[in-house]
Chains A and B, each alone.
Chain A
């Protein structure tokens, strides 16, 4: 079943084209890594798909009512904002807002599950704003998980986390996909993307430059074209390994 379907989606901001004619489908069981250089439009693509930005074309999510969309997709913005000194538990509970009242027991279960998945149970009663940046990021991921939507969209969810929590978070996302949900996350760490994502979508030059299994997408030509880097790619007994190596200066006139 399709969780997100974009058709000919284009976004212009202040007269400049950011995205042109994006067509994309994401289904159940997929953990899509949205990759691309800075300014490629990863955030813009997700926000437009959610209807948070004006765009032309079609987005299946945007066609839904506010309430229905809130039960179909959870969105984790890049700006990690917690405005008030609320407890961790109460932040995570906010994820239950779209489900209305009268579902107390289900709410509690969802909150507990989310706290558990992000290893936040010990921090449950702490004040969220007094936690470290990485801890706050995990609290916010837990909030999105508590929303219990078929699709989760996250903007750079693992930036600023320590290696253990980066890996743990990627595993949580991969686990959700394995359970039949869908996850779309923009990522800069190509190594983690290759190891955990079931599919990569490479955004560059205002469009989808490549879309497919990680090893198909990250070819040397595309790495050079989109990221200006070379990379090392290998299959270890512990799964695929990818490491960017050096910057290619193909645009440098001195070359």
Chain B
């Protein structure tokens, strides 16, 4: 294990513990952790096991997924602007989830929710990759992203506005900005298997992505099957983004910020960036989720607000730098 991996793992661990002991209910840290491990009667174990634990697990799983998907997409498109949220994959996943919820499919079959999000995400990844081409030019990538995001956002709003439920329309914000508030272990079980499947598809792609540093031709001649790489990447990204979005809404910028910050630390090698970004993404989402609880605990501040506040300036900076190099 490299020193960076160790440091990131410790960071994730520390933030995970912090996430467990912080919350609107005043529970002493030691008592809370004891109740979490030992269980028992009363409200404290209930709070620890059914409210804070799933929230912590989901932050790690979804943050890790977003970091990983961002690093993998950037590696494939060889473009630091590729990010699941920005190019509309999260938005389309949210649309898929919303459709299964409001057609009643999700009520008939619980797995329909992540399946719908997976289908949405898959469609968007495929579309982005087709539009942006194998060597994703920044301009095409961003334009494709704007178009796909706008379309997905509009359709999501339409579905929610048409719902007979008076609360549905208020949820547009949740689906577009994401939140981990009041999630339960049920959501963990919905998201975890699909996320693990996606990780299993993306993590071994490191060598292929490394080879792609030298372009498609060079990679192809070094024994990398580009067709296989592309398929695994599309499916893997769809799995992890779909699973995360189905239970927590579309959370942007994690996949942009984390690989960007970690790239210099791993010598810019796409393979080394995959694992590091997964850990970094988990840390970032844990931190963001702690922040929304500390800053405005009563208001259910959305996660996407925090990640965008950090990510959007960085995004502008990246565009500025790429513009200097010529898009």
In the complex, A touching B (Cβ < 8 A): yes
Could you show 12 A-B contacts with beta carbons less than 8 Å apart? A52-B220, A66-B223, A75-B218, A77-B214, A77-B215, A82-B213, A83-B212, A85-B264, A86-B267, A97-B210, A97-B222, A140-B214
Residues in A with CB closer than 8 Å to B230 are none
New A-B pairs, 10, CB < 8 Å, besides A77-B215, A98-B222: A52-B217, A67-B223, A70-B221, A70-B223, A75-B217, A81-B215, A97-B211, A97-B224, A140-B214, A143-B214
Residues in B with CB closer than 8 Å to A56 are none
User: Does A90 count as interface, using CB distance less than 8 angstroms?
Assistant: yes
User: Does A4 count as interface, using CB distance less than 8 angstroms?
Assistant: no
Interface residues of A (CB under 8 A from B): 47, 50, 52, 66-67, 69-71, 73-77, 79, 81-87, 90-91, 94-95, 97-98, 140, 143, 147
Q: How far is the CA of A74 from the CA of B213 in the complex (A)?
A: 16
Q: How far is the CA of A161 from the CA of B222 in the complex (A)?
A: 25
Per-residue A-contact encoding for B178-215, CB less than 8 Å = 1, 0 else? 00000000000000000000000000000100111111
Residues in A with CB closer than 8 Å to B264 are 85
Q: How far is the CA of A106 from the CA of B63 in the complex (A)?
A: 39
Say yes or no: A94-B217 contact (C-beta < 8 A), given A66-B225, A67-B223, A86-B268: no
Say yes or no: A83-B223 contact (C-beta < 8 A), given A75-B218, A77-B218: no
Contact of B215 among A50, A66, A79, A147 (CB under 8 A): A79
Say yes or no: A69-B214 contact (C-beta < 8 A), given A84-B78, A97-B207: no
CB atoms of A91 and B223 under 8 A apart: no
User: Does B270 count as interface, using CB distance less than 8 angstroms?
Assistant: yes
Say yes or no: A70-B212 contact (C-beta < 8 A), given A84-B78, A90-B269: no
B227 CB, nearest partner CB in chain A, Å:
10
Within 8 A of A (CB), among B134-192: none
Q: How far is the CA of A84 from the CA of B78 in the complex (A)?
A: 8
A49 CB, nearest partner CB in chain B, Å:
11
Contact of B213 among A52, A66, A71, A91 (CB under 8 A): A91
Q: Which residue of B lies closest to A96 (CB)?
A: B222
Contact of B221 among A74, A87, A90, A91 (CB under 8 A): A74
Q: How far is the CA of A47 from the CA of B225 in the complex (A)?
A: 15
Q: How far is the CA of A231 from the CA of B218 in the complex (A)?
A: 35
Name the residue in B207, B211, B217 with the highest tally of chain A Cβ atoms < 10 Å from its Cβ.
Answer: B217
Q: How far is the CA of A154 from the CA of B212 in the complex (A)?
A: 18
Residues in A with CB closer than 8 Å to B263 are 84-85
Residues in B with CB closer than 8 Å to A90 are 267, 269
Name the residue in B212, B218, B264 with the highest tally of chain A Cβ atoms < 10 Å from its Cβ.
Answer: B218
Q: How far is the CA of A241 from the CA of B65 in the complex (A)?
A: 61
Q: Which residue of A lies closest to B270 (CB)?
A: A84
Residues in A with CB closer than 8 Å to B270 are 84
Q: How far is the CA of A95 from the CA of B221 in the complex (A)?
A: 10
Q: How far is the CA of A147 from the CA of B268 in the complex (A)?
A: 21
CB atoms of B213 and A84 under 8 A apart: yes
B179 CB, nearest partner CB in chain A, Å:
34
Contact of B223 among A76, A97, A143 (CB under 8 A): A97
B327 CB, nearest partner CB in chain A, Å:
15
